């Protein structure tokens, strides 16, 4: 692989589609027998014509409700699953056709599963991965020390994996995914079930990997705080299709994320009017502004316009919770319409 | 900020490192508290009961089915140790294909620069090597105590070769079952049937020499007797010299045949990875 310049696409999914074929079992007394003789086959399209790319050194969140196709997409990007149609390129390789070469370019963490050996101390598991990835011993020790500094692994890495807490185990899995120094990291719900302290430690670790080490990170999560704090860009999929490829603001605009600015006027009797803003409520000196009928301006613009027009003694900003916005996005059944 | 790229330092400088991965199962056994002691106790009890049983069966007679008492006891002891050490280690370590399938962690076997097939092979080497250590310890303990007979020094190398081939057949047979999980997702029933059939037809329950001629003829057509009966019969001196070369050739044939079949299965299995639970 040739070195990728920052921002240059390093992960590309083009018209990616995955159809699963299953055999369903009939109910009833003779269900098992009839299923054996004449099985009922069903097809489910988990991912349908999804296209997007991730630039080198970028951190992108892949969002969507349960069953939207996020994990299937990640599994195709990592080469575990072969797409039914469309193509994937990761660091110049088709990951499914070049699994072993691709493995040297990527790290992966699946938060609900561990790649460590249950009965071995975590450090022994990491040493086995060192041998699987044929990492030079000196480089291994150097990286282990660095990962220990960032993730506090040495406090528990001599414990057997089955005895680790979830947070400890996932931190070891993060270390396992980065031992071979991959330029691209796929994280499927890495902070699921963690307490807020460990979550923040993991987020800080991911920020470090992107900003200091230049890694490319694609993560899936249901934690909207995580998205707000980490992701520069989001790709939203639902019903197997791409809905939004843009920023969180794009999602807010698309799915009715709104705000109110409640100000206290220095002059309680003043006439109130601000271009482009709607007065939602007035109670004496307290006036609530909302966006105009066309949904503009942005919150920042609105504040600037209010302060330019009126003398105020207090201000309270109320924004729709990001989770409310995402709930609307997840429930939305409109045809996908990519926002670039 | 520098963008990380492929081929960072420290890669592909240890091409032999994959062989070291074979330590995974023995290490799990040694580091999991109590498993070694439990295995030692299990083998000691099994050996003791085998000796008592087979000595009792020889009361009043000096030879049965072409085996004298010492040969029969030696056969039973070696067979017992092989049966009880070959099967369980990777299962206890949660590293079988079935367990990995059910936990959904099989996907990690396909995210490494070491193919799933090679990992399975190297792990199998370690696991069978671990079983041979138990066999060697049992022999070294039982020989001075007079529990089992000494092998004919001239036949010892032949026994070792046949034992290695037997281990290879055992590995390939179990691989067939494990690979079936890629289609069936479950194989517990098949494993239970296989354990019984393999133990019976290999001579693990009783030396095959005690079975009727038709039974031994049938078992000759199957791979199981090559896993245990052939090497152990060579050790105790029961296999006629004229049949040794043919038996070894049959073992080699089964190893090659099963290896080819499994290579074909692996290619198809690795295209059928499914991950339970999303």
Residue A299's pLDDT is 82
CA angle, B176 then B177 then B179, to 5°? 65
- Per CB-CB distance under 8 Å, the chain A contacts of B8 are 180-181, 183
CA proximity to A88, closest of A182, A10, A20, A180:
A10
Between A335 and B254, residue with greater pLDDT? B254
Residue B6's pLDDT is 40
Q: Enter the tokens of residue A311.
A: 């003398």
Residue B13's pLDDT is 61
3-state secondary structure of A80: coil
Name the residue facing A211 among B1, B12, B13 (closest C-beta). B1
B12–chain A nearest CA distance, Å: 5
Name the residue facing A214 among B1, B105, B278 (closest C-beta). B1
| pLDDT tens column, B97-114 | 888 888 889 899 999 999
| pLDDT tens column, B178-189 | 888 888 766 677
| pLDDT tens column, A240-268 | 999 889 888 788 777 766 788 999 999 88
Is-contact A159 A122, C-beta < 8 A?
Answer: yes
Put simply, whether A112 touches B (Cβ < 8 Å) is yes
| pLDDT tens column, B76-102 | 999 999 998 887 666 666 788 888 888
CA–CA distance, A121 with A159 (Å, rounded to integer) = 5
| Number of CB atoms found within 10 A of residue B89's CB | 23
Q: Would you state the torsion angle of the CA atoms of residues B48, B49, B50, B51, taken in this order, to the nearest 10 degrees? A: 50
B121-143: b (≥16 Cβ within 10 Å) or e: bbbbbbbbebbbebbeebbeebe
Strand partners, A316: A262
**What secondary structure letter does DSSP report for A39?**
P
pLDDT exceeds cutoff 50 at B5: no
**What secondary structure letter does DSSP report for A179?**
T
Q: Among all residues of chain B, which has the CA nearest to that of A20?
A: B274
- A 129-188 near B (Cβ less than 8 A): 130-140, 143, 160, 180-183
Mutate to test the interface with A, among B108, B109, B186 (most CBs of A within 10 A): B108
Name the residue facing B112 among A103, A136, A215 (closest C-beta). A103
Pairing of strands A286-291, A277-283: antiparallel
Under an 8 A CB cutoff, do A132 and B21 touch? yes
Q: How confident is the model at residue B9 (pLDDT cuts 50, 70, 90)?
A: very low
Residue B110's pLDDT is 92
pLDDT exceeds cutoff 90 at B60: no
Q: Among all residues of chain B, which has the CA nearest to that of A5?
A: B3
CA–CA distance, B266 with B115 (Å, rounded to integer) = 10
B184–chain A nearest CA distance, Å: 12
**Mind spelling out the 3-state secondary structure of chain B?**
CCCCCCCCCCCCCCCCHHHHHHHHHHHHHHHCCCHHHHHHHHHHHHHHHHHHHHHHHCCCCCEECCEEHHHHHHHHHHHHHHHHHHCCHHHHCCCCHHHHHHHCHHHHHHCCCCCHHHHHHHHHHHHHHHHHHHHHHHHHHHHHHCCCCCCCCCCHHHHHHHHHHHHHHHHHHHHHHHHHHHHHCCCHHHHHHHHHHHHHHHCCCCCHHHCCHHHHHHHHCCCHHHHCHHHHHHHHCCCCHHHHHHHHHHHHHHHHHHHHHHHHHHHHHCCCCCCCCC
- B 104-133 near A (Cβ less than 8 A): 104-105, 107-108, 110-115, 119
Given the structure tokens 């993560």, which residue do they identify?
A219
CA–CA distance, A122 with A199 (Å, rounded to integer) = 20
CA–CA distance, A182 with B72 (Å, rounded to integer) = 58
- B 68-107 near A (Cβ less than 8 A): 92-95, 103-105, 107
Residue A323's pLDDT is 78
A91–chain B nearest CA distance, Å: 8
Cα A339 to chain center, whole Å? Answer: 18
Residue A295's pLDDT is 61
- Those residues of chain A that have pLDDT short of 50 are 1-2, 335, 337-340
Residue B1's pLDDT is 39
Name the residue facing B5 among A137, A160, A183 (closest C-beta). A183
Under an 8 A CB cutoff, do B110 and A56 touch? no
| pLDDT tens column, B122-165 | 999 999 999 999 999 999 999 999 999 999 999 999 999 999 99
Put simply, whether B272 touches A (Cβ < 8 Å) is no
Between B35 and A37, residue with greater pLDDT? B35
- Per CB-CB distance under 8 Å, the chain B contacts of A232 are none
B93–chain A nearest CA distance, Å: 6
Put simply, whether A36 touches B (Cβ < 8 Å) is no
Strand partners, A265: A312
Is-contact B89 B96, C-beta < 8 A?
Answer: no
Under an 8 A CB cutoff, do A213 and B4 touch? yes
Residue B2's pLDDT is 40
Q: What is the mean pLDDT of residues B13-22?
A: 84
Q: What is the mean pLDDT of residues B245-270?
A: 94
CA–CA distance, A55 with A39 (Å, rounded to integer) = 45
Q: Enter the tokens of residue B1.
A: 């900020």
Q: Count Cβ–Cβ pairs < 8 Å, chain A vs chain B.
A: 151
Name the residue facing A136 among B14, B21, B275 (closest C-beta). B14
Mutate to test the interface with B, among A18, A99, A158 (most CBs of B within 10 A): A99
ipTM reported for the complex surpasses 0.90: no
- A 203-242 near B (Cβ less than 8 A): 211-216
Put simply, whether B11 touches A (Cβ < 8 Å) is yes
């Amino acid at each position: 692989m040739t070195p990728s310049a920052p921002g240059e696409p390093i992960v590309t999914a083009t018209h990616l589609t995955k159809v699963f074929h299953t055999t369903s079992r009939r109910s009833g007394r003779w269900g098992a027998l009839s299923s054996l003789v004449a099985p009922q086959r069903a097809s489910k399209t988990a991912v349908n014509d999804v296209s997007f790319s991730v630039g080198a050194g970028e951190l992108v969140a892949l969002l969507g409700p349960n069953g939207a196709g996020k994990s299937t997409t990640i599994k195709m990007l990592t080469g575990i699953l072969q797409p039914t149609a469309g193509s994937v390129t990761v660091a110049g390789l088709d990951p499914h056709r070049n699994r072993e070469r691709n493995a040297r370019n990527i790290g992966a963490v699946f938060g609900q599963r561990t790649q460590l050996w249950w009965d071995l101390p975590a450090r022994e598991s990491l040493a086995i991965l060192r041998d699987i990835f044929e990492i030079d011993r000196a480089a291994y020790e150097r990286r282990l020390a660095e990962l220990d500094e960032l993730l506090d692994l040495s406090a528990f890495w001599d414990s057997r994996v089955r005895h680790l807490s979830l947070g400890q185990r996932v931190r070891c899995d993060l270390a396992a995914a980065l031992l071979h120094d991959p330029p691209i990291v796929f994280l499927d719900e890495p902070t699921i079930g963690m307490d807020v302290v460990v979550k923040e430690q993991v987020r800080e670790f991911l920020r470090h990997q992107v900003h200091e080490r230049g890694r490319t990170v694609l993560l899936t999560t249901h934690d909207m705080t995580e998205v707000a704090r980490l992701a520069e860009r989001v790709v939203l999929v639902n019903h197997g299709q791409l809905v939004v490829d843009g920023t969180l603001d794009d999602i807010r605009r698309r799915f009715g994320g709104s705000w109110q600015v409640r100000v206290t006027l220095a002059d309680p009797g003043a006439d109130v009017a601000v271009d482009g803003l709607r007065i939602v409520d007035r109670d004496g000196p307290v006036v609530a502004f909302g966006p105009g009928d066309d949904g503009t301006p942005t919150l920042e613009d609105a504040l600037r316009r209010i302060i330019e027009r009126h003398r105020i003694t207090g201000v309270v900003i109320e924004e729709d919770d990001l989770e409310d916005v995402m709930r609307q996005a997840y429930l939305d059944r409109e045809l996908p319409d990519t926002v670039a | 900020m520098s963008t990380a790229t492929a081929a960072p330092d420290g890669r592909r400088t240890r091409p032999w490192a994959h062989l070291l991965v074979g330590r995974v199962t023995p290490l799990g056994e040694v580091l999991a508290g109590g498993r070694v002691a439990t295995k030692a106790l299990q083998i000691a009890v099994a050996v003791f009961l085998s000796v008592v049983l087979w000595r009792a069966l020889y009361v009043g007679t000096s030879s049965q089915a072409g085996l004298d008492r010492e040969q029969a006891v030696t056969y039973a002891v070696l067979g017992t140790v092989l049966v009880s050490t070959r099967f369980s280690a990777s299962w206890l370590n949660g590293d079988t294909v079935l367990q990995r399938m059910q936990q959904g962690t099989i996907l990690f076997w396909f995210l490494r620069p070491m193919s799933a097939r090679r990992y399975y092979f190297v792990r199998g080497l370690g696991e069978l090597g671990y079983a041979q250590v138990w066999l060697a310890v049992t022999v070294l303990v039982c020989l001075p105590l007079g529990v089992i007979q000494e092998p004919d020094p001239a036949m010892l190398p032949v026994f070792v070769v046949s034992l290695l081939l037997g281990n290879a057949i055992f590995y390939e047979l179990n691989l067939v079952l494990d690979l079936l999980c890629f289609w069936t997702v479950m194989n517990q029933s098949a494993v239970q049937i296989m354990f019984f059939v393999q133990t019976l037809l290999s001579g693990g329950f009783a030396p095959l020499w005690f079975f009727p001629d038709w039974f031994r003829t049938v078992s000759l057509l199957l791979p199981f007797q090559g896993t245990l009966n052939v090497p152990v019969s060579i050790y105790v001196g029961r296999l006629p010299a004229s049949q040794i070369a043919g038996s070894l050739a049959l073992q080699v044939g089964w190893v090659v045949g099963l290896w080819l079949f499994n290579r074909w299965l692996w290619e198809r299995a690795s295209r059928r990875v499914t991950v339970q639970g999303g």
